[in-house]
Structure formats: C-alpha cells, structure tokens
Amino acid sequence: MSDERAPQDGEETAAVARPSGKRSARRSRAASSDASVATIDRPTSLEKTAKKSGKAVRSGTGNPFKRLMKFLREVVAELRKVIWPNRKQMVTYTSVVLVFVVFMVSYISGLDVAFIKGVNWLFG
C-alpha cells in the first residue's frame, strides 16, 4: 500500500513526512539540521555540576526501567529514519548475496580439493 494515493472525500491533503530515498531530500535535510548539530556538543547541567565538584559523571545511574524505555524509544526513532528497501530491491540484494555465497563456496572448495591432491601427490 502506498502513501501516495489520491485523498478521498473528507480526508485532508497534508503531506506525509516520510523519507523519499532521493539524494536531494537527504541534502536538504542535512542542510536544515546543521543548526541543530551545534547544540548537541553542549554539556548538560549534570556534567557542569560534576565538573565543578570534580566527580565523574556515571551514565549508568538511575532507574534501569527508565533507561531501558529511553533506549527503546531511541531505537524506534532511529528505525523510523531508515529508508527501507522495497520488494524489488530486496529480491535483487538477496539474489546478489546468494550468487556471491555460491561462488565463494565453490572457489574455496576448489582450492581445498587442489591442496588435498597436491599434498597427496607430494607425500604419496
């Protein structure tokens, strides 16, 4: 099912904010996110306090369930950014991998047979 269908009666025509996979879209997103990159390197208030007191900041403090939930939310957020391949691309990628694996297995098997025959010939 595609999100690029025509709107039906009563539906809004708001654009869906999904990645298109096109390079131009990636460049425009990268250019617009340059301003937010500068704010990432600022130390947090916890780090400032720890720096003043001379104590090291432990990243493993706090409720483990809250940390787990935060981790899972971040994983889901990152997976939403992934541009997933469509069915045709997936079939192509899978067939390329399978052909490569078959080639490598036959190549290594051929070398193995050649070395076995060479050792048998040399040592009888």
Does residue 69 sit in the same domain as residue 32?
Answer: yes
Q: Residue 38's pLDDT band (boundaries 50, 70, 90)?
A: very low
- pLDDT tens readout for residues 68-92: 999 999 999 999 999 989 999 999 9
**H-helix or E-strand spanning residue 95:** helix 87-123
Does residue 107 sit in the same domain as residue 122?
Answer: yes
- pLDDT tens readout for residues 102-115: 999 999 999 999 99
Does residue 74 sit in the same domain as residue 24?
Answer: yes
Residue 80 structural domain:
19-52+62-84
Question: How much is the pLDDT for 14?
Answer: 53
Q: Residue 20's pLDDT band (boundaries 50, 70, 90)?
A: low
**How many structural domains compose the chain?**
2
> pTM of the full predicted structure?
0.41
